[in-house]
Structures are given as structure tokens and as C-alpha cells.
Amino acid sequence: MRIDIISIFPDYLAPLELSLLGRARVGGLIDIRTHDLRRWTHDRHHTVDDTPYGGGAGMVMKPEPWGEAIDSVVASDAPTDVASDAPTIVASAALTPLLIVPSPSGTRLTQPMAERLAAEPWLVLACGRYEGIDQRVIDHYSQQLSVEEISIGDFVLNGGEVAAMVIVEAVARLLPGFVGNAASLTEESHAIGGLLEYPVYTKPASWRGRDVPSVLLSGDHGKIAAWRHEQALRRTAKRRPDLLHSSESVHLSDLGSTLMVTRATRADAPELLTLQRGCWVSEAQANDALGIPPLVESLADVRDGIETWTTFVVRAGGRLVGSARARLDEGCWRVGRLMVAPDLQGRGLGRWLLEHIEAQAPPEAHTFELFTGSRSAGNLRRYRKAGYRASSEPPPEPGVVVLRKPRRR
């Protein structure tokens, strides 16, 4: 991969010569070239900025040096395929770079974006300073190249150089051959289903009175994987709940198709109402209770429910096929409305949804609780299998059994 970086402070980019990145450059895996924007100025002071049209504080980078700089870099010798064993010249007529303009107003850099950029043969990064680059530069190059304005986070830096280094490092380390152990790339934060990474430990097993969690010493890889997944979910829920709101794809082999799991929004209410009516008819019949809330609720009630409960919906090929919700009540994570479309029941989706909603419990939750009809034999059996036991407390309404399970940490 080739990367050109244009800046008024090319020396700022010196760290790109260090460590693994430096080694990748020496080894020919990546060809990074830095350029001083002032090379393309023609006045005695090498001016690159001017006052903004319309007034306001700060200075704006002039379009002319940027135009000449980008034209010159784009017209320079086409990159060779430096990653392959036998370098081949890529047809220069066909190859144009992807132009990246680091900017606090850009699209936020994410791991999937870094993966996409790592598949590009050539990136040109244009580092702005001051209030930014004259918009016409971006508009002009958008006509002939792919241009992306990228932000590395919701804060403002003095210029694009540090952001460019962040982007280069995030991208370069994904190039095949950059890191010795490729598995370490797939197991880190933002790579496992969009979750933060679980906590890690090394020797000694006990340090200053703190022991490594015993499951990690058990040798039971299934249990270790489950523990790590739960830790990752818990961490994500606490530190980055926004990540849990985005969709997660799940593959249950028995269902044969990939399911998308998302936090429910008000827009899901009509389908959710239809699904819950379809799912609770047999329950109502078994318990002789046609007036149960899931059957008689209005659309407005379902919308309110979405707003007051943490609700997840599962879709298969766009169709809403399952849901579950929960909310915290005095240390108890009350789970409810666990439903799976009647034609997809008995294939593990209900069990998966129950585990999923349990995993969303905030750290303060010490107990899981749910209820079902006292004559809902199938549900009682399934919940028992999942570790729930009938509570001795009186049920909230007649004909209902409350089931509890202590949270295991």
C-alpha cells in the first residue's frame, strides 16, 4: 500500500518511522511519503492561509497550494504493488488514490472503516490546519477521486497531522504481514461483534492479593469463551452503551439464516404488536386468560414499552421474528416479553434471546426475574433449564408464576 501525506509540518509525521510501522516501511510492506505543502506556494512567505470570506475568527487554507500539491502527488509515479513478493507495476492510468481529509467535521473513524481503507492500494491524506481547507478543494477533487473527510473523534485538534497518524496506524496494522500473530487482530476491541475487549491477565496468578478469575485457569475453553463474551458485554454496556444499540449479527445454525439484533425503536412498535399478539394467543388459551397485557395492549402502549424498557428485536431477512426486554428494579433485572415467531420456535432463538437480554443487565443487577403463566408448561420447563426457580413471593397477579435466578459473576 502507498500512503502520501501532505502537511505544512511534515516533521510532525516522524513517528511514522518508528516501531512496527517503521519496520513495515523498511520491509516494503507500506510506502509512506510525506510532502511539505509549502513546496507548492510561490510567494516569498510561502503563504498557505488567508482570512475567511464572510468574516469570523481564524484563517482558512488557500485552495491554490492544495490544488497544486494534490495534482502533483496524484500525477506522480503510480504505486507498485509493494505487498506482493514480486512487485508489479499497477497500470497508472487506472489507479487513482483515495483522498482523505482529516477533519473534526468528518465521518467518525471506526474499525470497519479502517478495514475498508486497508483494502485500498493508495491513500493520500491532506492535513489541514487553522479553520480548515477551502471547501472548493474538497468539492473539486470529489469530481475526479473518491474523497472522504474523516474525524478521529468528537474533539478538535490543532491540525490534521495527529489524526492522519491515527488513521495510518489503524489502517497499516491491518495489512497482511504487518503483525506477526494475525489472531491478535481478530480478538481485540471493536473486532468481536462490535464489543469492547474483555479484561486480560497474565502471570503471576496472584498479585497483591488479587487473583486471576478462576475460570481462566480452568482449561475449559467453552467456559472461558462464555466468560470473556459476558465480560465484553458488561464492559460495553457500562462504558459504551451506544455500541450495544447498533446491530449485531447472530447466526444460529438451526435457523439457517443470519439474524440482526438491534435495540428496538418506536418504529418497531407496529410489528412488535403484531408479533406479540401472535405469540401470546396460545399462552392465553393455556392459562384461560384472554385479557393478558400482550394481547390487549394498544400500539401506543407498545411504543411506551419500547421507551421504558431495554428492548431488543431480532430480524431475519428484514422480518421481525423475535424480541425480549428488561429493566432494572431495585437490583433486579426484570426480563419480559420474550417472544419468537411461532414458525421459528424450538430452534434455540428463545434461549439465545434470554441469554442476550441477561447479558445486558447493568452491573448493579444481582438477580434476574421473569414470570409466566402457571399452566405454561413449555415456558416453565425452558426457564427451569436456564436456571430460573419459582419464587416463594406472591405473584403480581393470579395464575402467574414468578421465577428468579441469582446473577453469577
Chosen residue from 57, 93, 94, 156 binding ligand ADE by CB under 6 A? 156
152 is a contact residue toward ligand ADE (CB under 6 A): yes
105 is a contact residue toward ligand ADE (CB under 6 A): no
> How far is residue 147 from each of residues 124, 152, 161, measured CA to CA in Å?
9, 16, 17
Choose between 133 and 313: whose C-beta lies nearer to ligand ADE.
133
160 is a contact residue toward ligand ADE (CB under 6 A): yes
Query: DSSP per residue over 215-251, as a string?
Result: GGGS--HHHHHHHHHHHHHHHHHHH-HHHHHS-EEEE
| Segment near ligand ADE (CB under 6 A); pick from 32-40, 154-162, 294-302, 395-403 | 154-162
| Segment near ligand ADE (CB under 6 A); pick from 80-88, 96-104, 116-124, 190-198 | 96-104
Grid coordinates given for 387: 436456571
| Smallest distance from ligand ADE to CB 282, Å | 54
Choose between 65 and 102: whose C-beta lies nearer to ligand ADE.
102
Q: Report the alpha-carbon distance of residue 171 to residue 291 in Å, rounded.
A: 57
| Smallest distance from ligand ADE to CB 195, Å | 24
102 is a contact residue toward ligand ADE (CB under 6 A): yes
163 is a contact residue toward ligand ADE (CB under 6 A): yes
Strand order in the sheet with 400-406: 248-251, 258-263, 310-316, 319-329, 332-340, 367-373, 400-406, 389-390
Contacts with ligand ADE by CB under 6 A: the residue count is 11
Contacts of 63 (CB under 8 A, 6+ apart): 133, 134, 136, 137, 140
Q: Which amino acid is at 235?
A: R
> How far is residue 9 from each of residues 21, 147, 338, measured CA to CA in Å?
19, 22, 57
| Smallest distance from ligand ADE to CB 109, Å | 8
157 is a contact residue toward ligand ADE (CB under 6 A): yes
104 is a contact residue toward ligand ADE (CB under 6 A): yes
Residues forming the site for ligand ADE (CB under 6 A) = 102-104, 151-153, 155-157, 160, 163
